Amino acid sequence: MDINNQIAENINNPHELERIFRKDPEAFEKSFTYVWEQNPDSQVLAVWYERLHFKETANTENASLLQKDFLLMGILATLAGLSTRIIMYFVELEVIAPINLAFGILPFIAAYFVYNNTPKKSVVYTLVSLFLVSALYINLLPLEYTDSIILTYLHLPIFLWVLLGLAFTGNKYGIGSKRLAYLKFNGEFAILYATMAISGMLLTALTMQLFTFVGINIEEFYFKNVVLFGAAALSVVATYLVSRNLKLAKNIAPYIAKIFSPLVLATLLVYLVTVIWVGKSPFLDRDFLLSFNGILLIVLAVTIFSITESGADKTKNISDYINFSLIVLALIIDSVALSAIVFRLSSYGITPNRLAVLGVNILIWVNLIWIMFAYFRFLQNKTGPSTIQDAVTKYLPVYGLWAAFVVVIFPLIF
């Protein structure tokens, strides 16, 4: 049947019109004008006319704000790149620790968030003071790699990540939906940054090859300056693009969540069965216990990413059951890891590493229990998805507090 006739016959059937449009948008748009001229009184076609021919009214004020936003992004990206290169110079001289590279990037992303959110002065003062105190404290520690110092270096990024969350949420730091938006931002940021980084690596490889053809080796210079500068600046650019609602990351993130969750679940089940089959024990093998904890963190990250990308849809689907299975599996892994850590503490005594791993596992265990019960009630139709999201978002400050405790206290007591 001719598409003109299809549209004409389904003027009062919006669902069928949508189906025809999706089947061949270009043909639909070409034929629509004729049908619209023949039926100018149709309200349904009037809506379709606006949909197909709508043009945003020029807004000088919005355009000005966009230009300012873009200019700020450019300035912050440049500052991030320069700061990171300067910090790397002192790291190479072994004057400061490599963890200082975090201060070449995160404060500038925080500054971009503050510019967009315009939080209260108390929030701004808190952010500035905590960033400064963190940088000062970490550089007052001895430049040595003892267990307590290494733990401080490992936990500082967690604390700064939570601090970045405060900059993102601004005055709404206590609202669950805003914290959830921060988690969604992280997922979309990671996808976009990885995509752009791959493009950057291809450009780097091409540049290296081109200069090799003319007999010039620029590898050391290029990596120390261009690549390092670009990697830092790119973080601010990615922040800007995600904040401007770039559709690439937002459209692909839910699909990645749906694809990776079952893959992780299947891989983990096969891995655990293999572990039991070969008789590996986290109670006796320290390296295996560490890998167990690494798996736990990956599962927790995938689960939280999947939950944040599920949105506010109240209808249950297969992804929810996969997420619930992942949570239960993660809880089993964490329980085994906790038992192994307690066994090693009682058998071999207290060390900074064992105490830190024990603390992290207890925090994750409590969080998983909360998420599991919230999910179970959701699957029983007793609550909506907001309870699951609350179990994730309300617990975030706890991780930040624990990280701050390890960063400040461990170097003092060990």
pTM, 2 dp: 0.77
Q: What is the pLDDT of residue 388?
A: 85
Rounded CA-CA distance 370/126 in Å is 30
Rounded CA-CA distance 65/5 in Å is 46
Q: What is the pLDDT of residue 1?
A: 59
Please name the amino acid found at residue 41: D
Q: What is the pLDDT of residue 21?
A: 82
| The token pair that represents 350 in the structure block | 């207290």
Q: Compute the Cα dihedral for 141, 144, 147, 153 and give only its sign.
A: positive
Rounded CA-CA distance 80/12 in Å is 56
H and E: helices and strands count for the chain: 17, 0
Note whether 310 and 319 are within 8 A (CB).
yes
Q: Compute the Cα dihedral for 25, 28, 29, 30 and give only its sign.
A: positive
- Judged by phi (left if over 0) then psi (alpha if -120 to 50, else beta), residue 54 lies in beta
Tens digit of each residue's pLDDT, the chain (414 residues): 567 777 877 888 887 888 888 877 777 787 777 777 777 778 877 887 777 776 544 444 455 556 778 888 999 999 999 999 999 999 999 899 999 999 999 999 999 999 988 888 899 999 999 999 999 999 999 888 888 899 999 999 999 999 999 999 988 888 888 888 898 888 889 888 988 888 888 888 888 888 887 777 888 888 888 889 999 999 999 999 888 766 666 667 677 777 777 887 887 787 777 777 877 667 666 676 777 777 778 778 877 877 776 655 556 778 888 888 888 888 888 888 888 888 888 888 888 888 888 898 899 999 999 999 988 888 888 887 888 888 888 888 899 999 999 999 888 887
Rounded CA-CA distance 202/291 in Å is 32
Q: What is the pLDDT of residue 314?
A: 58
Rounded CA-CA distance 307/246 in Å is 21
Rounded CA-CA distance 60/168 in Å is 27
Q: What is the pLDDT of residue 405?
A: 93
Please name the amino acid found at residue 306: S
Q: What is the pLDDT of residue 61?
A: 47
